[in-house]
Structure 1
């Protein structure tokens, strides 16, 4: 069982330059065996360590670890998303072009939960070329619109990207989540949503502008 055929796509301009095919291995991707070989050998052989909050789990590192999928059957400790991009691991693909591939999350927050990734390996935003980042967003934007026309239950759409371990990134290949939302769905985020004083916001804005200057 191979990957699903890519959708036809039009109207995209290629970014400057070509993408490298290199895929560095990492021993940082450790997965808790939960589903074992049977899940990995299923038709939808996708792995995403960034669980956003399902079935009553609120956003927490504990719930993220609980929902990891065992992928010990992968040869070596290479990047599973690179394996999908190269066609070496099965995936339910909804879109593919020379630079980007998008496929179904194997443990969706809601039906229609997609992952959009660059084919060229980039661990995080610091490693991601800006033109490729633009293309990731362009594809995600298009897929978000497609979800509303898909017939799946979709009253809204979330786009989410976790960059770094502190942000709960656990698969270290940039990936953008695109998933339908509807009233009563299981997705939750815990946060302190208090309104801050303008003085504090202005001070924080100064720090952000300083970071922009340093780029």
Structure 2
């Protein structure tokens, strides 16, 4: 799709690529080294992935996590997320997974983590 920013890979700074996924740093990072794992083929839904794609996605996420932690000793955790559908906040309709490095003290109270997508539900 010519109007999809993730399909126009020549404009992106790809740091890793295999036959199913490629990896870039997020252009609008939540934290330093916020990483995107992006499906090579234009597809907007995680739920359309094949079982073998999901297994490979696990390997890519784990490799990126290990690489980030080896290069930055301040990383103490991660958020992993997918915005699936417009009502879940997806703005680029091409499957991509957020791998967000977290560091002690990057927010006052990190409890609830991804529950913060609905801020009133984060604290329990």
Shorter-chain TM range is 0.7 to 0.9
CA distance in 1 between counterparts of 2:122 and 2:22 reads: 34
CA distance in 2 between counterparts of 1:99 and 1:129 reads: 11
Segments ≥4 residues shifted beyond 3 Å: none
| Structure 2 stretches lacking a partner, 5+ long | none
**Does the CA-based 8 Å contact 1:100-1:136 persist in structure 2?**
yes
Residue 99 of structure 2 is aligned to residue 178 of structure 1? yes
In the TM superposition, residue 128 of structure 1 has moved relative to its aligned partner by 2.6
SS in 1 for 2:43: coil
Question: 1:118 pairs with 15, 28, 39, which one?
Answer: 39
| Structure 1 stretches lacking a partner, 5+ long | 1-22, 26-77, 196-215
TM-score, normalization by structure 2: 0.80
Aligned-residue CA RMSD (Å) = 2.3
Q: Alignment length, in residue pairs?
A: 116
Spell out, residue by residue over 1:133-160, the C-alpha distance to the aligned partner (whole angstroms, 9 max, x if none).
Answer: 3222320121112211112631111111
SS in 1 for 2:59: helix
1:107-186 → structure 2 map (5 Å cutoff): 107-151=28-72, 153-186=74-107
CA distance in 2 between counterparts of 1:182 and 1:126 reads: 30
TM-score, normalization by structure 1: 0.48
Bigger share in strand = 2
**Does the CA-based 8 Å contact 1:112-1:152 persist in structure 2?**
no
CA distance in 2 between counterparts of 1:115 and 1:125 reads: 14
Q: Mark the structure with the bigger radius of gyration.
A: 1
The aligned counterpart of 1:192 is: 121
